[in-house]
């Protein structure tokens, strides 16, 4: 399992970044809005970020294919 | 005859400094202070361009690490908390109603400064130069800086007044915005650009907060006095040489 951030629901609070024990969550690369993203290579799938995320639906877990890769 | 402004400074003046939302004593006072800031803004911008050109030509990663550590020292948790907490506490409970809009700006700026610290840490994390942000707590380069004028308005400034922050917002945040703008024009490194992209607009926002404070609040000589004293402090070359503690040279003949 890996975590993934739905950018349209993320409120950019950064709480996930602070509590991630693996430093897998970072400010989104070169994003002027300072939202966050999960680096899959560093995510161990512990799910701690989901427990603390205050924005419903912003953090989700996936097995193999990130939700962004799913057809609309 | 006055020297022409650096092109980036002139662009900044035309877009953000000279257009006024208010007229009157506050705006007049601000433009008088602007004339005092201009030599420093021009010099800082020219130095930022020069440093960026030099960094762009430098091979290796050392300059990126140095930039990120220095950025973390300027805006990491240590400085963010000290700087902004001091300014929030400069307004007593009895004065809160009078300055509630300024207090709200300052409270939000705590988070902005934290974000900038995050971005500098992110350069080091993504670059693989640190494994965890905690490691920065052990590195003096990430927690100390030699700019006494900057630090002075945070924890050491002797004349704390609810409006003194306006001078820091106006003078220092303009330098931050101009420096980042200069760097983004030159530097191509994606990690360094990552660090600067969101910060650039937030520095501009903090400058505009200073502009608003001056235009709207610095209306009487009594209001202007503490702000002008803060400008005096910031514009005085308190630290023209690097402190020995941060790698500066011992003065000759000091016998050490």
Three-state SS annotation for chain A:
CEEEECCCCCCCCCHHHHHCCCCCEEECCCCCCCCEEECCCCCCCCCHHHHHCCCCCCEEEECCCCHHHCCC
Lowest mean pLDDT among A7-11, A65-69, B5-9, B118-122: A65-69
pLDDT of B167-205, one tens digit each?
A: 989 999 999 999 999 999 999 999 999 999 989 999 999
Quote the pLDDT of residue B214.
Answer: 96
Residue for token digits 């990126």? B64
pLDDT value for A72? 47
Contact B141, B78 (CB under 8 A): no
Q: Check pLDDT > 70 for residue B50.
A: yes
For A29, the closest chain B residue by CA position comes to B194
Nearest CB to B115 within list A26, A30, A34: A34
Residues of chain B above pLDDT 90, percent: 61
Name the one residue in this structure whose structure tokens are 């609070």. A13
pLDDT tens profile A16-69 = 999 999 999 999 999 988 999 999 999 999 999 999 999 999 999 988 777 875
- Residue B67: CB partners within 8 Å, gap ≥ 6? B55, B123, B192, B195
Kindly list the structural domains of chain B, giving each domain's residue range(s) and its CATH number in brackets, ordered by start. 7-246 (1.20.910)
Q: How many CB atoms lie within 10 A of CB B122?
A: 21
Rounded Cα distance between B228 and B234, Å, is 10
Task: Please count the other Cβ atoms lying within 10 Å of the Cβ belonging to residue B168.
Answer: 24
Q: Residue A33: its chain B contacts at CB < 8 A?
A: 198
Does residue B17 register a pLDDT over 90?
Answer: yes
Q: Are B153 and B235 in contact (CB under 8 A)?
A: no
Q: Could you tell me whether strands A2-5 and A59-62 are parallel, antiparallel, or unpaired per DSSP bridges? A: antiparallel
pLDDT of residue B238: 57
The number of angstroms, rounded, from the C-alpha of B77 to the middle of its chain's C-alpha atoms is: 15
Which residue of chain B is at minimal alpha-carbon distance from A14?
A: B115
Chain A residue nearest residue B201, CA to CA: A32
- Contact, B106 vs B84, CB < 8 A? yes
Lowest mean pLDDT among A42-56, B41-55, B98-112: B98-112
List the single range of A19-23, B14-18, B22-26, B88-92 with lowest mean pLDDT: B88-92
Q: Shortest CA distance to B39 belongs to which of B214, B180, B234?
A: B234
Q: Which of B103-107, B180-184, B198-202, B230-234 has the lowest mean pLDDT?
A: B230-234
The pTM for the full model equals 0.86
Chain B residues near residue A14 by CB distance under 8 angstroms: 115, 118
Q: How far apart are CA B46 and CA B30, in angstroms?
A: 23
Residue-averaged pLDDT of chain B: 87
- Mean pLDDT across the stretch B89-106? 89
Q: Which residues of B touch A (CB under 8 A)?
A: 115, 118-119, 122, 125-126, 131-133, 190, 193-194, 197-198, 200-201
């Amino acid at each position: 399992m890996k975590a993934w951030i739905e950018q349209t629901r993320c409120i950019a609070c950064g709480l996930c970044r602070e509590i991630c024990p693996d430093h897998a969550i970072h400010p989104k690369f070169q994003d002027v809005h300072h939202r966050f993203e999960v680096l899959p290579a560093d995510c161990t799938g512990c799910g701690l970020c989901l427990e603390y995320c205050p924005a419903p639906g912003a953090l989700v877990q996936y097995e193999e294919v990130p939700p962004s890769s799913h057809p609309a | 005859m006055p020297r022409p402004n650096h092109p980036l400074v002139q662009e900044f003046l035309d877009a953000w400094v000279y257009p006024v939302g208010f007229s009157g004593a506050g705006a007049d006072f601000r433009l008088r202070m602007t004339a005092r800031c201009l030599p420093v803004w021009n010099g800082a911008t020219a130095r930022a361009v020069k440093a960026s050109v030099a960094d762009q030509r430098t091979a290796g990663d050392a300059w990126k690490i140095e930039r990120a550590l220095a950025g973390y020292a300027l805006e990491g948790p240590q400085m963010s908390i000290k700087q902004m907490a001091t300014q929030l506490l400069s307004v007593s409970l009895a004065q809160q109603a009078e300055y509630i809009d300024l207090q709200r700006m300052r409270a939000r700026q705590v988070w902005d400064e934290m974000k900038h610290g995050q971005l500098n840490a992110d350069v080091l994390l993504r670059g693989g130069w640190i494994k965890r942000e905690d490691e920065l707590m052990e590195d003096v380069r990430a927690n100390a800086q030699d700019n006494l004028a900057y630090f002075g308005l945070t924890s050491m400034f002797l004349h704390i007044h609810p409006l003194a922050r306006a001078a820091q917002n106006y003078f220092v945040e303009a330098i931050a915005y101009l420096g980042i703008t200069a760097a983004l024009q030159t530097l191509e490194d994606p990690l360094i650009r990552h660090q600067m992209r969101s910060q650039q607009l937030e520095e501009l926002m903090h400058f505009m907060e200073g502009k608003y404070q001056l235009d709207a609040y610095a209306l009487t000589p009594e209001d202007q006095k503490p702000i002008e004293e803060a400008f005096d402090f910031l514009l005085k070359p308190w630290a023209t040489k690097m402190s020995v503690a941060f790698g500066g040279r011992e003065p000759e003949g000091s016998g050490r």
